[in-house]
Structure 1
Amino acid sequence: MNVSTGLLMASGCLLSLGLMLLIMPSLIDYLHKIKFGQTERGEGLESHKKKNGTPTMGGIAFILVPTFLYIVYSLFSPFKLDMNTAIILLAFVGYGLIGFIDDYIIVVKKDNEGLKPGVKFLLQSILAVVFFLLYRSTASTAVWIPIAHIQVDLGFFYFFLVFIMFTAETNAVNFTDGVDGLCAGQMIIALIPFIAFAFMQGKMNVAFLIMLVVFALVGYLKFNLHPAKIFMGDTGSLALGGLIAAVAMVLKQELLLIVIGLVFVAEVLSVIIQVSHYKRTKKRIFRMAPLHHHFEKGGWSEEKVVTRFWMAGIVCSLVGLIMGVI
């Protein structure tokens, strides 16, 4: 990477951060004005009831800002819109749109269920199929095995891996978004190893796009830390899940996504285990699911939950990064 490329990257990152810091206060005021506020579940934690009315759909900002900046930079810089970045952006915006529809139904229609689970899963599945077909047209169906440094061609079975990646990751990130600052911070931590992988593979376009998202999330996090002034909503969480799944796919780090995103995996597994166990036995394994609520029920403050989960995420990211480079 030469100096001019580095300066372009730095300028884009600073613009991404600066625009977020500039527009978030106005967005928060506007969402307050039109009453796009969070509605906490009746069966939720008592300490969360005070969050009712806090603006949601903040994910709109950190979707639009890096997307807009990347498209602008692609017009005059070396960072072009190729198949890899197109897939990532389509996943980012596409899953964000599904989340937006869900949020809209909850906030505007006053239907706390939002999109029916079956409809939401169908839309997520359709996008997963689209991304597989797009990616398959220009890339192999081989999966890289970390540490062993071998590739295994899954052939048609690669479709099932991609399908699981997108549907599982979007839901996992969605479940993680339940405590102030947790999801955004965890996503920043998880994306950093993928920036390193993109640099190692010489995919500067992908590295730049991820960096724009990371700096946008840093700007968003300033307003989302406890006590949060805004929430990302399903608009943001589904978009981030689609983004990181697409990033892992185009960088051929599908397996390391599990290691790097282990906190997200633990969150969604806690829900699956809790629901399936309760249906069989009418007893709960966790005090409350997803996992972060289990610790809140045990007396941890939101800040303690977030910092401990971030620490776990840092360890997972470091392990994944090491596995990817040795």
Structure 2
Amino acid sequence: MKILIGSKVNSRHIKRLKTIGEELGVELNIVCSEDKAVLKKEVEDAEVLVIWWSTFDPEYVRVGKKLKWIQTLTAGVDSFLLPEVKERGIILTSMKGIHGIPMSEHIMGMLLGVIRGLFKLRENQRQKKWDRPRVEELYGKTLVILGLGNIGIELAKRAKAFGMRVIGVKKTLEKVEFADQVYSSDQWLTAIEEGDVIITILPYTPETYHMIGEDAFARMKNEAIFMNFGRGNVVDEKALIEALKAGQIRAAILDVFEEEPLDPDSPLWEMENVYISPHMSALSNHYMERAFEILARNLQHYIKGESLENVVDFTKGY
């Protein structure tokens, strides 16, 4: 069985996968590369493709006539939702569930940077300027989380540790640990009206495209901080920019954008009340360890003919 991995991989991870194959009586041929030309050639006879969205090319599916399973190295799968994948019955699985810790830490770090004036302090330091910026506390503020899955729950846990009130929005209305209140997805506009901090961790689907636009920003408090750590196209960036310029919201903290990398000419770069990170909140020194835990389990399931973890529902888009 040939497994093609579109990433650099530590040799011990490769050894572990091969050991799984040996124990289950299957000889594995594992090829690793980040070169798209190499990947396109090697995928021709590969049965399994393990890959990042950044190294994926839809052409691999057309060329890979023997492909039966694609394991993404990301939680987001919008780049992989191709008609041919569905039509050919290729199993598509994601890395859902491994991003909660790094993303929630990153989110809280950037939020504290704004609330406690840490970004401004760094700027003052460079200018040798002894000045005290505006500072507040997270304690007592209300955080509204749009998308209360694994990442949202990890974020809620950390927010509660800072004494924040947490409101979550999810498809099914049910009690969730660390959330003080949960709204169903059709009540999200009501929920955001209560937020001092509003964050979306929603995936991209046809239903969420530009979901947060002019109407949503008009409903937010003027002092609200808006954060997007899900998918860029869930937010209408033009509407966001106008809301920031008009003072409808206080600030925006953004890790994802409609087009990436963010255009150097985008007004977002130079806006005083915008804080940017380059789609990196999920990165961690433990990322590949966690990813290969899922891959190893799924490989065992696949060889045994069992159901895999994190199988993507093409109807839902995640």
TM-score (norm 1): 0.28
Greater percentage in helix? 1
Greater relative CO, 1 or 2 (CA 8 Å, sep 6+): 1
Greater percentage in strand? 2
